[in-house]
């Protein structure tokens, strides 16, 4: 979804047009004096206060530079060779910085269509957020754009386009922001990126979206979920995709599930020694698939969620929705062990190998018993003291009702698709509560740009800090955020197809 770009902060108005590219819609929101409402103005991405907040962030005085070139090309997934779009490799390059560094990244667009880069999870300045026609003009083919911002918080993040369903190609990479004060009590670090893959296998993501939109008459109502419309391999299949943890498990049965860009028959390998400690940074870059992740013969100690520290908790496996990240610690055993990312509620999995001694490579179909053990979810997490949000009075509450229909493939927030949205108004300095109410039989990983929020616990207190949280079918998740990063911020389902089909809105700062 996109709208024409008008960067004039004095006007604070963006004209609305049709849904095209996963951007944003702010039509008619500049001045609300009409209809008898009090006069308010948008805080636009180029408003002076955005620069004021940026300059107030902690700066190390160090600048990290990088370059990204988005191009079409052929990629080897470890046997299957596909034509796709990528930043040269799948995943793209890992960018590293320290908290407080200035990050300067030059994007060159060699694609046949506009693109952007969104810095997922980073509380950055609004005009660098990468949402076309909301925070920047889309980057046209054969042009470039410079992203220039401070990275304020340490953690595991990633970057990807925010145009249409480009995320479901190979256009993503990881951004690691180090904490200079962290003790680093581990021997290895391993960045592990999970993905579901269909591009170049007979369909493009745009063709998949068109097929979903054309699949009318399925009998699904306004609160319907997916009930067996498999898309992997090119046709409409009969696979029933449901999860005991999430409910409806996705809309697409993908032909491949990848770990670090490889199919299970050609896995990547981490090599270490028995007894060593490994920090694994897990990123779910998939578009339609949650993953249940386990390492055979090992337990996981989960230490960070969406970049922020938690009280370490031990489990056998962890559930990751699209857009979520966790850091886990492994104490390596002796042998060759599979890291398996099982596509939750679907058929298939990704795999990598952890090797500390000789032994055969685990088979691609291996299923560690840990996958059926204690599965860690957001309900098991408690924020570590530095990440805890102080208890405070809630100044403003918004209900965010998630709805949708498989008939015509339309997904909504508060009964509206994005091109007809009613933004969630906030003002600088407020404590804002969002009640995320899922009225569908599908799960939705809800992501808020430019902020972290605290998931409110059963006692009404702010809990674990995140920027993406799964809202399971017919469930409600309540989150609190502090409105301290002015601008216009996308709030949406991180199922790329649900978002593009309308399940997006705007957290809209006003004066």
The per-residue pLDDT for 180 is 87
Torsion angle of the four alpha carbons 119, 248, 374, 193, in this order, in degrees rounded to the nearest 10: -30
Contact 108, 116 (CB under 8 A): no
Q: In terms of CATH, what superfamily is 48-182?
A: Cupredoxins -  blue copper proteins (2.60.40.420)
Break the chain into its structural domains and give their ranges.
Answer: 48-182, 256-382, 388-509
Q: Give this prediction's pTM.
A: 0.91
CA 255/CA 195 separation, integer angstroms: 11
The b-or-e profile of 105-120 (16+ CB within 10 A means b, else e) is: bebbbebebbbbbbbb
CA proximity to 129, closest of 420, 502, 490? 490
* Complete DSSP assignment for 215-229: ---S---TB----S-
Contacts 24+ apart (CB under 8 A), 7-15: 7/44, 7/45, 7/46, 8/44, 8/46, 9/44, 9/46, 9/47, 9/48, 12/41, 12/42, 12/43, 12/44, 12/47, 13/42, 14/133, 14/134
Q: In terms of CATH, what superfamily is 256-382?
A: Cupredoxins -  blue copper proteins (2.60.40.420)
Task: Tell me the pLDDT of the chain averaged across its residues.
Answer: 89
Contact 426, 493 (CB under 8 A): no
Residue 126, SS3?
Answer: helix
Straight-line distance from the first to the last Cα atom of the chain, in angstroms, rounded to the nearest whole number: 26
CA 22/CA 14 separation, integer angstroms: 15
| Secondary structure element (H or E) that encloses residue 329, with its range | strand 325-331
Report the residue count for the chain. 511
Contact 133, 85 (CB under 8 A): no
CA 128/CA 105 separation, integer angstroms: 11
* Lookup: tokens for 364: 């691609």
The per-residue pLDDT for 241 is 84
* Lookup: tokens for 228: 């067996």
CA 328/CA 313 separation, integer angstroms: 9
The per-residue pLDDT for 8 is 34
The per-residue pLDDT for 458 is 85
What is the distance, to the nearest Å, from the Cα of residue 421 to the centroid of all Cα atoms in its chain? 21
Number of C-alpha atoms within 13 angstroms, CB side, residue 253? 21
- pLDDT tens-digit profile of 236-255? 333 568 999 999 899 999 99
Regions of the chain where pLDDT drops below 70: 1-39, 216-240
CA proximity to 274, closest of 329, 197, 331, 193? 331
CA proximity to 477, closest of 427, 406, 402, 424? 402
CA 288/CA 305 separation, integer angstroms: 20
CA 59/CA 101 separation, integer angstroms: 6
Q: In terms of CATH, what superfamily is 388-509?
A: Cupredoxins -  blue copper proteins (2.60.40.420)
Is it true that 256-382 and 388-509 share their CATH fold?
yes
The per-residue pLDDT for 38 is 53
Contact 138, 125 (CB under 8 A): no
Helices (H), strands (E): how many in the chain? 3, 33
Q: Where are the alpha helices (DSSP H) in 274-423?
A: none
CA 401/CA 458 separation, integer angstroms: 20
The per-residue pLDDT for 31 is 33
Cβ neighbors of 255 (< 8 A, separation 6 or more) are: 197, 198, 201, 232, 233
- Cα→Cα distances 91→195, 223, 271, 345, Å: 9, 35, 20, 24
| Secondary structure element (H or E) that encloses residue 54, with its range | helix 48-56
CA proximity to 356, closest of 338, 339, 335? 335
Contact 1, 25 (CB under 8 A): yes
CA 383/CA 403 separation, integer angstroms: 30
């Amino acid at each position: 979804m996109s709208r024409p770009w008008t960067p004039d902060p004095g006007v604070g108005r963006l004209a609305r047009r049709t849904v095209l590219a996963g951007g944003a819609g702010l039509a008619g929101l500049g001045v609300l004096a009409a209809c008898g409402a009090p006069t308010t103005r948008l805080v636009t991405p180029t408003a002076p206060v955005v620069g004021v907040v940026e300059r107030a962030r902690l700066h190390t005085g160090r600048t990290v530079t990088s370059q990204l070139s988005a191009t079409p090309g052929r990629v080897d997934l470890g046997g299957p060779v596909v034509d796709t779009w990528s930043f040269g490799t799948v995943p793209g390059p890992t960018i590293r910085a320290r908290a407080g560094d200035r990050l300067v990244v030059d994007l060159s667009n060699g694609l046949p269509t506009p693109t952007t880069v969104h810095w997922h999870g980073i509380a950055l300045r609004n005009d660098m957020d990468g949402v076309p026609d909301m925070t920047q003009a889309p980057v046209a083919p054969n042009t470039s754009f410079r992203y220039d911002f401070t990275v304020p918080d340490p953690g595991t993040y990633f970057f990807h386009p925010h145009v249409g369903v480009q995320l479901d190609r190979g256009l993503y990479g990881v951004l690691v922001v180090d904490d200079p004060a962290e003790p680093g009590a581990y021997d290895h670090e391993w960045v592990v990126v999970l993905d579901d893959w269909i591009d170049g296998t007979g369909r493009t993501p745009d063709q998949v979206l068109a097929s979903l939109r054309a699949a009318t008459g399925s009998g699904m109502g306004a609160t319907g979920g997916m009930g067996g419309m498999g898309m992997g391999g090119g046709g409409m299949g009969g696979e029933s995709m449901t999860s005991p943890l999430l409910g409806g498990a996705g809309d697409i049965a993908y032909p491949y599930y990848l770990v670090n860009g490889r199919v299970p028959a050609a896995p990547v390998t981490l090599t270490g020694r028995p007894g060593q400690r490994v920090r694994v940074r897990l990123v779910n870059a998939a578009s339609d698939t949650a993953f249940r992740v386990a390492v055979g013969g090992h337990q996981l100690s989960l230490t960070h969620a969406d970049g922020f520290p938690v009280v370490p908790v031990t489990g056998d496996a962890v559930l990751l929705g699209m857009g979520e990240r966790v850091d886990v610690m492994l104490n390596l055993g002796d042998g060759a062990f599979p890291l398996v990312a099982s596509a939750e509620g679907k058929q298939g999995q990704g795999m990598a190998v952890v090797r500390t001694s000789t032994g055969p490579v685990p088979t691609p179909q291996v299923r560690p018993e840990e996958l059926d053990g204690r599965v860690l979810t957001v309900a098991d997490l408690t924020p570590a003291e530095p990440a805890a949000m102080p208890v405070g009075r809630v100044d403003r509450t918004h209900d965010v009702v998630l709805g949708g229909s498989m008939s015509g493939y339309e997904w909504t927030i508060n009964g509206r698709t994005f091109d007809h949205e009613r933004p969630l108004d906030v003002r600088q300095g407020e404590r804002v509560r969002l009640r995320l109410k899922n009225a569908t039989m599908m799960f939705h990983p809800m992501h808020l740009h430019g902020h972290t929020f605290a998931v409110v616990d059963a006692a009404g207190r702010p809990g674990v800090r995140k920027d993406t949280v799964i809202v399971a079918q017919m469930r409600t998740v309540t989150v609190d955020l502090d409105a301290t990063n002015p601008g216009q911020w996308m709030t949406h389902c991180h199922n790329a197809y649900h978002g593009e089909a309308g399940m997006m809105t705007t957290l809209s700062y006003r004066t």
